Structure 1
Amino acid sequence: MARKTKEEAEKTRQALLASAFKVFNEKGYAKTTLQDIAEDSGVTRGAIYWHFKNKTDLFEKLFDYAFMPVRDLLFSKFEENLPPKEMIDGLMRVWIEHAGKNENFRAAFGIMFNKTEWSEELMPFKLKFREYEFKFIKRTEQIIAEGQREGTFRDDIKPKVAAAQYFSILLGLAQYSQFFPEEVDIYNESESLIKMFMNSCLKTN
């Protein structure tokens, strides 16, 4: 019986997360209430408080659910013993795949960047997210510098500037896919997109 209860609780939690994706996307963070999410998922507000402390906690857990697997995948690649060129290429492939095809990731990205007013209550979450972004940027900068030392990347580029461009391209592609999915399928065009960035950095023979 206990196992069944645990399974049912997890089923309710997943239903709440699915409804949160939907309602936050429709109304934005500020205008969404826990009652809205409860009604959409067909549970009581009490059921929400069983799983989440408040709306902010639900918002954060939603992004943990959608973004953390991708973040972990990206950061795990940093641990692989790959040449700089392959590392930069591989990270970009992971991002484009999820930004172009992963529905949870796409929904969460759209909510965060297009449907959220960054109020004081959300600042701890935003700062935590910014910390991960900064770590990614600095690690990318190191990889590009390594590529310069081994003669793969151009000597005339600044690793810090290249890392800023790289990060901006990744975010821009995800945003573009939100606004203009009918124009360019970033997943299907990943080879061209990656090649264009790599050609801007690689040393020519």
Structure 2
Amino acid sequence: MYVCKPLQDAPHIKHKIMGRKTKQASLETRQQILDAAMQEFARRGVSSTSLNDIALAAGVTRGAIYWHFKNKVDIFNAMWTQVESSIDDVELRYRNQFPSEPLSALRQTMIYVLQTTVTDPRRRTLLGILFHKCEFVGDLVSLQQIHQSLYLENYERIEKILRLCIEYKQLDKDLDIRLAAITLRAYICGLIENWLFMPEAYPLETDATRLVDAFIELLKYGLMMRKTCQVQSVEVSQTIGN
């Protein structure tokens, strides 16, 4: 007859369990640090927050912070990655939901981005820090460089989606893709930044659909979004100048 060994007679099992507990505890500490950092960044501003401030708020030592993160920039980037990964997941979900309608997927993603800024406290707080509490000075200059590269990547991603929309004949082939990508990003970022600064100015969550549809209409029918209007714009500028 086979009898299961007691736990004390199976050290390899005990080690596995202890390993899982240690890993879980490490992840919890890491998240604890991130939560505390977000709280302190929002309260003091990023440049005015020290690692000591974060350690005190998290109830850990500076050594614990250095075990998980190199510096404040590393902490901020980890916070940003956590929040933005959800947007990437949503974008993929809508692409799968609308495989032959990339414009519909783009529309739904834009609506989600606006609405989740209101409904997701972590995203709202992080964007508030990025727009209003983050000074790119001193050791944070490298953070500015990182986000500049992310902005360029986002432009490229937007342009890729717009090309797909043209390929599926959902947008005019004469669309100025570069201009459209710049305008789209400025439009969404502007709506979010202004709302974060003064939430009572407009109901971003309830107006999100109409705001996005207004921009989609501009992409579809806005004459100044066309490549052929570049020459006309130059001619008008020259006429005004004269």
CA distance in structure 2 between the aligned counterparts of 1:3 and 1:75, rounded to whole angstroms = 31
Question: 1:55 is matched with which residue?
Answer: 72
Is the contact made by 1:23 and 1:36 (CA closer than 8 Å) also made in structure 2? Answer: yes
Equivalent position SS for 1:29: coil
Superposition deviation, residue 68 in structure 1:
3.2
CA distance in structure 2 between the aligned counterparts of 1:124 and 1:50, rounded to whole angstroms = 21
Superposition deviation, residue 148 in structure 1:
4.7
Unpaired runs of at least 5, structure 2? 1-17, 223-242
Question: CA 1:73–1:122 in structure 2 vs 1: closer, same or farther (change >3 Å)?
Answer: farther
Is the contact made by 2:91 and 2:105 (CA closer than 8 Å) also made in structure 1? Answer: no
1:162 corresponds to 2:180: yes
1:128 aligns with one of 146, 156, 161: 146
1:36 corresponds to 2:53: yes
Question: Percent identity, aligned pairs only?
Answer: 27
Unpaired runs of at least 5, structure 1? none
Corresponding letter in the other structure for 1:113: F
Aligned Cα root-mean-square deviation (Å): 2.7
Specify the structure having the higher radius of gyration (Cα). 2
Query: What is the TM-score with the length of structure 2 in the denominator?
Result: 0.72
1:189 corresponds to 2:207: yes
Equivalent position SS for 2:200: coil
1:11 corresponds to 2:28: yes
CA distance in structure 1 between the aligned counterparts of 2:149 and 2:105, rounded to whole angstroms = 21
Is the contact made by 1:70 and 1:98 (CA closer than 8 Å) also made in structure 2? Answer: no
Corresponding letter in the other structure for 1:19: A
CA distance in structure 2 between the aligned counterparts of 1:32 and 1:183, rounded to whole angstroms = 30
Q: Which has the higher contact order (CA 8 A, sep 6+)?
A: 1
Superposition deviation, residue 145 in structure 1:
4.4
Corresponding letter in the other structure for 2:151: E
Question: 1:27 is matched with which residue?
Answer: 44
Equivalent position SS for 1:198: helix
